[in-house]
Amino acid sequence: MEYTIYTDGGCSLNNKMMDCPGAYAFIITTDGDVEIAKECEIEFSTTNNRMELAAAIQGLSWLIGKKIEGLESHDCVVITDSKYLKDGYHEYLPIWKNNGWRKSDGSPVLNQDLWKMLSALSPEFNSLRFQWVRGHSNHRQNCEVDMMVQKKLHELRKPRLSESRKKVLSREVPV
């Protein structure tokens, strides 16, 4: 059996600083496109790339956490619109591990904690691969996880009423 995990992550301020709220989402399907899980969570003080990684890690962790019998004999493909995630996993992860989590210029790998978590999840499957799709390109599940992330980010941006203001607004106005 093959599991497919559709992932997306994003931040409200897509910058490289660890100071913006973000969200990640995943949808998991089995052979025949049967949906078995769908989740979206928020994190504060994060980056876009961390959210892309978190989506994949949480989706894989969800599958592993279900203790599916024989999971190690199943294949898993992660569909992502993040070349950072796809290329990082297939092209750079083995090199980073061999270089002591250092890039070719000797600097430490960014998001090393999450890359290590992702690497540790890989042996749980017969095969794990990442496939890139163009974001916002009418790929149904990619658009759905993107909408899940954008909805969470929109909720974060909504102004919150203070408790005292809520009380004032809830009082009946005499006529």
| Span 120-147, pLDDT tens digits | 999 999 999 999 999 878 888 999 999 9
- Are 39 and 58 contacting, i.e. CB atoms less than 8 angstroms apart? yes
Q: Which domain holds residue 150?
A: 2-170
CATH number of the domain at 21, please.
Answer: 3.30.420.10
- In one-letter notation, the amino acid at residue 174 is P
* pTM over the 0.75 mark: yes
Is 90 labeled as catalytic in the residue annotation? Answer: no
* Residue 175 included in any domain: no
Is 113 labeled as catalytic in the residue annotation? Answer: no
Is 136 labeled as catalytic in the residue annotation? Answer: yes
Q: How many domains does the chain have?
A: 1
Catalytic residue among 10, 52, 59, 88: 52
CA distances from 144 to 92, 135, 140 (A): 28, 11, 6
- Are 138 and 84 contacting, i.e. CB atoms less than 8 angstroms apart? no
